[in-house]
């Protein structure tokens, strides 16, 4: 398990490979287009990178790689969403701006860690 699997340490940064699709932009529904994404949680943001095969845990550092997109977690909402997909282990992340993403992993423990870590960041930002 990761050093932060108990959610008690302040180091909330996390990086890994998840399946991702955006399903809404500004509240407007989009057609699903699932693809693997290198996902990095840093500070208050979830950052997505394309071409995960070329990524390593160090290659997302500023200047080394251009993110595909970035999500501000302040005010965001997280929900398990197995009703929104035929895939297992799916959660939905909705931003304050009405962008919605589904994130998925075949590995139960891995998706639970991501869910808990993202929720911890959202909760911390809610308290600020």
Judged by CB under 6 A, the stretch of 29-37, 60-68, 70-78, 115-123 that binds ligand I3P is 29-37
For position 37 contacting ligand I3P by CB under 6 A, the verdict is: no
End-to-end CA distance of the chain: 29
For position 80 contacting ligand I3P by CB under 6 A, the verdict is: no
We find the least distance from the C-beta atom of residue 102 to ligand I3P, in angstroms, to be 7
For position 85 contacting ligand I3P by CB under 6 A, the verdict is: yes
- In Å, how far are 58, 77, 98, 119 from 94, measured between CA atoms? 27, 5, 6, 12
CA–CA distance, 93 with 113 (Å, rounded to integer):
15
- In Å, how far are 55, 73, 91 from 64, measured between CA atoms? 10, 23, 29
For position 31 contacting ligand I3P by CB under 6 A, the verdict is: yes
> Binding residues for ligand I3P, per CB under 6 A?
31-32, 34, 85-87
């Amino acid at each position: 398990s990761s050093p932060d699997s108990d959610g008690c340490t302040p180091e909330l940064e996390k990086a890994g490979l998840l399946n991702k699709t955006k399903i809404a932009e500004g509240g407007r529904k989009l057609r699903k287009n699932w693809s693997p994404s290198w996902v990095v949680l840093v500070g208050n943001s979830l950052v997505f990178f394309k071409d995960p095969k070329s990524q390593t845990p160090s290659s997302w550092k500023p200047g080394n790689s251009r993110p595909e997109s970035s999500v501000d977690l302040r005010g965001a909402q997280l929900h398990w969403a197995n009703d929104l997909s035929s895939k297992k282990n799916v959660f939905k992340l909705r931003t304050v701006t009405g962008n919605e993403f589904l994130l998925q992993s075949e590995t139960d423990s891995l998706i639970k860690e991501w869910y808990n870590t993202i929720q911890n960041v959202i909760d911390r930002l809610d308290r600020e």
